[in-house]
Amino acid sequence: RIPVIFDTDPGIDDALALALLASHPRFDLLAVTAVFGNAAVDITARNARGLCALFQSDVPVAVGAAGPLLDSRRRDGAAHVHGDDGIGGLSGQLPAPQRALDPRPAHVLICDMVNARPGEITLVAVGPFTNLALALRHDPGIAGKVKQVVVMGGAFGLKGHSGNVSPVAEANIMADPEAADQVFTAPWPVIIVGLDVTQEVIMREADLARLQGRGQGAGDLLWQATRHYQQFYDARDGIGGIYAHDASAAAILLVPEAFTLRDGPVRVVLDGIATGQTIQDWRQEHRGDTPWNGQPVQRVCVAVDAPRVLALFDAIY
């Protein structure tokens, strides 16, 4: 089984990712850490606890960052995408949490768990990357002890996919560009699952409807929550479904052969009109005096076999 700490801002597509992580037999979910993003962090933490209860996963949940590393980066939330309560108005229907909140801040929980099991734990991060950046600051040694980091974030301009909060920037990066740049340039292996592939993984209405009646209420709630999310995407992109952004980051651990990866250092644009853009230098030539020179080689997803990813949802309940 794959030991995972899940860093998240639930979030409707976050909830689908958590369903996979909590319910697929090949995952060993160790903890969930909440971060601001799709809603304020007290809301995303409450959702995370209620979702863990819904998915019958009795793991620690810790509260993380309430905002980005730099105050000047604060932006409006994503209520128009995920609803005021982060999960399409359904937070009141989540079961009561089964255990108390973990007393540690999220980044401390991450450091403690990674130090206790060096080389074993995968971090899956699908919100702004502030908790991960704070963990690196708190204990830089964890970079050498994490097995790998898988993030949903970024947009690399492939296959006509652009950013979703600016022509070049994706939401999780734009929410805290400094944190994202620190995570991508830390000496740990990062796999970046960006919009270029997540916008190819479309759960159509029929796929979502199949969740109903499954997982002792979990499937019904996910179906209901995705109604809100689907309305947003139908109005914007007319896709007749939703993008499974965050679940794609969990999926790459189960079906790595469904993803094509490209290697090279990745940086985030930190000022000007392209702020939040992610750029990989995948050229094999000498990088010269550029911001990519000397940075760790990370892996960016450039193609996906979407049906392989979508099939995972038929396997969990």
Minimum Å distance from CB 283 to ligand BDR?
27
Among 15, 35, 45, 171, binds ligand BDR (CB under 6 A): 171
Residue 280 neighbours by CB under 8 Å, 6+ apart: 156, 262, 264, 265, 266, 298, 300
Binding to ligand BDR by residue 277, rule CB under 6 A?
no
- Rg from Cα positions in the chain: 18
Query: Could you say whether residue 228 binds ligand BDR (CB under 6 A)?
Result: no
User: Does 170 engage in binding with ligand BDR (CB under 6 A)?
Assistant: yes
Stretch that binds ligand BDR, among 7-15, 23-31, 61-69, 84-92 (CB under 6 A): 7-15
Contacting residue, 7, 85, 181, 246, with ligand BDR by CB under 6 A: 246
If DSSP codes are grouped into helix, strand and coil, which group holds residue 304? Answer: strand
Identify residue 236 by its one-letter amino acid code: R
**How many beta carbons lie within 10 A of that of residue 302, not counting itself?**
17
What is the pattern of x (binds ligand BDR, CB under 6 A) and - over residues 121-160?
A: -----x-------------------------x--------
Instruction: Name which of ligand BDR, Ca ion, none residue 200 binds, using a CB cut-off of 5 to 8 Å depending on partner kind.
Output: none
78: partner contacted, choices Ca ion, ligand BDR, none (Cβ within 5-8 A by kind): ligand BDR
Q: Which amino acid is at 302?
A: V
Query: Residue 14, interface with ligand BDR (CB under 6 A)?
Result: yes
Instruction: Pick the closest to residue 155 from 200, 199, 198, 195 (CA basis).
Output: 195
The DSSP output letter for 297 is P
Q: At residue 280, what are phi and psi to the nearest 5 degrees?
A: -100, 135
- Of 267, 291, 282, whose CA–CA distance to 184 is shortest? 267
Q: Based on CB atoms, which residue is closest to ligand BDR, 8 or 295?
A: 8
Q: Which of residues 52-111 bind ligand BDR (CB under 6 A)?
A: 78, 81
Residue 122 C-beta-side C-alpha neighbours within 13 Å: 20
171 vs 222, which CB is nearer to ligand BDR? 171
Partner in contact with 316, chosen from Ca ion, ligand BDR, none, beta carbon below 5 to 8 Å by kind? none
Q: Closest CB to ligand BDR among 81 and 134?
A: 81
Judged by CB under 6 A, the number of residues near ligand BDR is: 14
Contacts with 107 (C-beta within 8 Å, 6 or more apart), sequence order: 33, 64, 65, 131, 132, 134, 135, 137, 138
Q: Which residues bind ligand BDR (CB under 6 A)?
A: 11, 13-14, 38, 78, 81, 126, 152, 164, 170-172, 245-246
